[in-house]
């Protein structure tokens, strides 16, 4: 089992869902965890349960100034960031493109895509200076295939894939790996934002005929952010239960 002792990991959206599962997995392997989450109270609760000197910081990743403030607080407390797992995201409403509210579309893109850009931009300089880093951005199978009645989510997650590929190539000359994963749906609180019809649609597309377990995602991500992943970068790793066609 990979040992992360002495390393600092920032996990956005780490108060629940896949993000929390990643926090638990990396903390179990020795990493110091810093949770960035819009729900500051839930983040503090999660950090308290993790223990081991874990830290919680309230942050709106769609707001560049908020991200910069979170970065500064993190570095003041820890002195470094070795690992970034960007798990914060929202599903948005289900509607056709012609019926999708303009403001809602912009909101989903601001969080899922712009937010990913913000946290990567904020933490990459420190990794460059250290000559080491591991980044995993959480995309989605919807970013590969496009789910009907979920245009904002699908488009934003496709953007996360493109951003990851671009940044991974920019940093390929150093020991910094930037990859993303494309999960199928997992039973987390993000389901609260979806219609039952859409949830049923997603399940019908998974050949394994079940939803992803968050611990399964955490296991893959733990390898991607390990020192052992010293070659692969700008990659897209499947967690779709057989749904992905490429």
Q: Which of 100, 132, 153, 246 is catalytic?
A: 153
Both tokens assigned to 135: 């980044």
Cα-based angle 93, 161, 58 (whole degrees, multiple of 5): 60
Classified as helix, coil or strand, 235 is coil
Classified as helix, coil or strand, 200 is helix
Helix ranges, the chain (H): 17-28, 40-50, 64-78, 102-109, 115-130, 141-145, 151-170, 196-204, 214-224
Which residues, 6 or more positions from 47, have their beta carbon under 8 angstroms from its beta carbon?
33, 35, 54, 55, 56
- Residue 132 designated active-site: no
Residue 77 phi, psi (nearest 5): -85, -35
Cite the active site residues: 153
């Amino acid at each position: 089992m990979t040992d992360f002792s002495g390393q600092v990991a920032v996990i956005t959206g780490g108060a629940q869902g896949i993000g929390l599962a990643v926090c638990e997995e990396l903390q179990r392997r020795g990493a110091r965890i810093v949770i960035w989450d819009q729900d500051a109270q839930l983040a503090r609760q999660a950090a308290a349960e993790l223990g081991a000197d874990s830290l919680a910081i309230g942050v709106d990743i769609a707001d560049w100034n908020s991200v910069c403030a979170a970065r500064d607080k993190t570095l003041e407390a820890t002195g470094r960031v070795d690992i970034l797992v960007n798990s914060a995201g929202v599903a948005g409403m289900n509607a056709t493109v012609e019926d999708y509210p303009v403001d809602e579309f912009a909101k989903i893109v601001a969080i899922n895509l712009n937010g990913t850009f913000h946290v990567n931009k904020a933490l990459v300089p420190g990794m460059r200076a250290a000559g080491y880093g591991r980044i995993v951005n959480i995309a989605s199978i919807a970013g590969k295939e496009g789910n009907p009645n979920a245009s904002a989510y699908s488009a934003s997650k496709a953007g996360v894939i493109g951003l990851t590929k671009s940044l991974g190539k920019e940093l390929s000359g150093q020991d910094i790996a930037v990859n993303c994963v494309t999960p199928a749906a997992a039973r987390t609180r993000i389901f609260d934002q979806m219609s039952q019809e859409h949830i049923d649609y997603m399940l019908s597309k998974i050949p394994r005929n079940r939803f992803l377990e968050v611990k399964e995602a955490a296991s893959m991500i733990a390898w991607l952010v390990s020192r052992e992943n010293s070659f692969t970068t700008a990659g897209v790793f499947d967690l779709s239960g057989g749904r992905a066609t490429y």
